[in-house]
């Protein structure tokens, strides 16, 4: 298959985090600055869109909401802020990334123990690879089969529960998350939450758009691939799947190839099987091809031109999410990659003819094509190189436009789909806060009025707000969300009183 003409964004180290205000260099100072940030009145330079309906269609903010009281200290220094903003607007929208889930036992991507940091050869599967190439899907689902038990057993951590409490207290308008682990809706089902890059808890058929629970799919994978199921049980017992460090995995019996794949000599990816969409399978007109056990197989060359279906019935619904300032595409969801993939292998169960056909052809659609075969299930996530739907894009923009400030938690903003939302907030005059242990892509853009080139408070008269900023005008701190957010909850309780 031709090498994809795109790169994974920002896999190397980002610059060290800026610290704004300077007092935020300690945990106590960071929590104090965050409290000032989310309790301050709205900036006078910001004006919201008029409210004509619910702020979030799936979970509207009640019109009867009364905002929490503002601390006298914050109000005293609020010459640049407007206390007369509609109270439904004077809230913070959160934008979260993989860093918030690290304490739940999941790896992030660019942190000290992140996937890109520990495994330099790792890359996620590309969207076009998945939809057009049978062999690529086998590899994806095999890796996914191994990762699913760890994800499905993980639970929200203290940071997620702190977000719930802040929402219950009335400080938050909603959450936009890049994560696909479902921890946010699990922790706070009543707080409006937009899963920007989808979720791994379901699959979607590329033909009929029917959704299927991921756990049911996992059970089918185990049935179709008993050799992989046995291997998975061994790896779970050894603890090898609880670390992203290749050396630690090898010590516990899990070997990896140089490209990061699992090395299973007795159960190669080429023998892996995965089920077809049951809805399409029940419809003879879809002409889905399966083996005797119900595993999807590519059609023969004789019928290849009669059973392909358009990738999307409405191609114009999907729009590009590529950074216009970059010549290469950037992923909308690194979290949807192979670390959460799964599959199983039964070397003797796949018909030899089908295996030979797949090997010879390189899988259906291995060359350029605008169609895919019927009955293929895909994780309900936005894969690397895939575009976010217009509906999701517009919902995210609405959540930005109807809040008075944005707080980024646990994200380096490496994907353009997330970075552009913070840039949108900046362009609208909204204060920006960032709570992330590592560097953040282009963060100097968000704090230009509060810092100088050497990361000291800007003393230019044009930026007088920077001289007195204690967090209300913007905050940037490099602490763990799992440490800082629970402490923030306690401080916000004091402010409410």
Which residues participate in catalysis according to the annotation?
Answer: 197
Closest CA to 193 of 260, 100, 128: 100
For residues 377 and 17, give the distance between their C-alpha atoms in angstroms, rounded to a whole number. Answer: 40
Burial of 459 (0-12, 13-18, 19+ CB in 10 A): exposed
Estimate to the nearest angstrom the gap between the alpha carbon of 431 and the chain centroid.
23
Helix (H, G, I), strand (E, B) or coil at 342: strand
For residues 36 and 32, give the distance between their C-alpha atoms in angstroms, rounded to a whole number. Answer: 6
Residues 6+ apart with CB under 8 A from 160: 100, 101, 104, 183, 184, 186, 187, 188
Helix (H, G, I), strand (E, B) or coil at 211: strand
For residues 449 and 432, give the distance between their C-alpha atoms in angstroms, rounded to a whole number. Answer: 11
Beta bridge partners of 177: 96, 195
CB 447 within 8 A of CB 120: no
For residues 38 and 34, give the distance between their C-alpha atoms in angstroms, rounded to a whole number. Answer: 6
Helix (H, G, I), strand (E, B) or coil at 299: coil
Q: Is the dihedral of CA 408, 412, 418, 424 positive or negative?
A: positive
Closest CA to 163 of 235, 95, 246, 254: 95
CB 157 within 8 A of CB 96: no
CB 434 within 8 A of CB 443: yes
Helix (H, G, I), strand (E, B) or coil at 187: helix
For residues 84 and 44, give the distance between their C-alpha atoms in angstroms, rounded to a whole number. Answer: 10
E-assigned strand segments in 159-223: 172-177, 193-195, 198-205, 211-213
DSSP 8-state symbol, 313: S
Estimate to the nearest angstrom the gap between the alpha carbon of 169 and the chain centroid.
26
Cα Rg of the chain (Å, integer):
24
For residues 395 and 225, give the distance between their C-alpha atoms in angstroms, rounded to a whole number. Answer: 40
Answer yes or no: is 477 a known binding residue: no
Closest CA to 180 of 146, 139, 144, 205: 144
The β-bridge relationship of strands 475-477 and 432-435 is parallel
Number of separate helices (H) and strands (E) present in the chain:
16, 15
Known binding-site residue numbers for Zn(2+): 205, 208, 277, 280
Known binding-site residue numbers: 205, 208, 277, 280
């Amino acid at each position: 298959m031709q090498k994809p003409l795109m790169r994974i964004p920002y896999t190397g180290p980002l610059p060290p985090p800026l610290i704004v205000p300077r007092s935020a260099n300690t945990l106590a100072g960071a929590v104090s600055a965050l409290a000032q940030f989310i309790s301050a009145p709205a900036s006078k330079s910001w004006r919201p869109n008029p409210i004509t309906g619910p702020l979030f269609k799936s979970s509207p903010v009640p019109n009867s909401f009364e905002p929490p009281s503002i601390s006298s200290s914050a109000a005293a220094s609020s010459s640049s802020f407007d206390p007369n903003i509609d109270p439904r607007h004077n809230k913070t929208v959160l934008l979260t990334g993989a860093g918030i889930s690290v304490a739940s036992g999941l790896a992030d991507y660019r942190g000290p123990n992140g996937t890109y940091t520990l495994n330099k050869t790792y890359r996620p599967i590309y969207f076009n690879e998945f939809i057009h190439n049978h062999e690529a899907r086998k590899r994806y689902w095999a890796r996914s089969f191994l990762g699913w038990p760890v994800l499905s057993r993980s639970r929200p951590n203290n940071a997620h529960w702190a977000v719930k409490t802040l929402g219950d207290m009335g400080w938050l308008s909603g959450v936009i998350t890049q994560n696909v682990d479902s921890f946010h809706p699990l922790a706070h089902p009543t707080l409006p939450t937009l899963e920007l890059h989808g979720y791994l808890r379901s699959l979607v058929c590329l033909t009929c758009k029917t959704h299927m629970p991921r756990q049911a799919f996992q059970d089918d994978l185990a049935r179709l691939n008993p050799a992989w199921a046995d291997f998975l049980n061994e790896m779970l017992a050894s603890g090898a799947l609880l670390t992203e460090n290749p050396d630690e995995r090898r010590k516990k019996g899990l070997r990896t190839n140089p490209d990061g794949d699992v090395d299973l000599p007795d159960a190669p990816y080429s023998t892996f099987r995965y089920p077809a969409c049951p809805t399409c399978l029940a419809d003879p007109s879809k002409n889905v091809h399966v083996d005797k056990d119900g595993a999807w197989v590519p059609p023969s060359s004789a019928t290849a031109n009669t059973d392909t279906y358009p990738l999307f019935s409405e191609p114009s619904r999907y729009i590009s999410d590529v950074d216009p300032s970059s010549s290469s595409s950037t992923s909308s969801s690194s979290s949807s990659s192979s670390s959460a993939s799964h599959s199983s292998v039964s070397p003797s169960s796949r018909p030899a003819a089908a295996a030979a056909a797949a090997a010879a052809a390189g899988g259906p659609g291995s060359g350029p094509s605008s169609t895919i075969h019927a009955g293929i299930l895909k994780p309900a996530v936005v894969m690397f190189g895939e575009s976010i739907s217009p509906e999701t894009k517009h919902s995210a923009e609405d959540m930005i436009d109807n809040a008075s400030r944005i707080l980024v938690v646990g994200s380096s903003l490496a994907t353009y789909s997330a970075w552009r939302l913070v840039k949108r907030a900046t362009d609208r005059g909204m204060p920006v806060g960032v709570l992330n242990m590592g560097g953040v892509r282009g963060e100097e853009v968000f704090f230009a009025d509060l810092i100088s080139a050497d990361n000291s408070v800007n003393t230019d008269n044009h930026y007088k707000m920077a001289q007195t900023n204690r967090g209300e005008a913007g905050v940037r701190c490099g602490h763990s969300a799992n440490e800082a957010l629970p402490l923030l909850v306690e401080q916000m309780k004091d402010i409410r009183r």
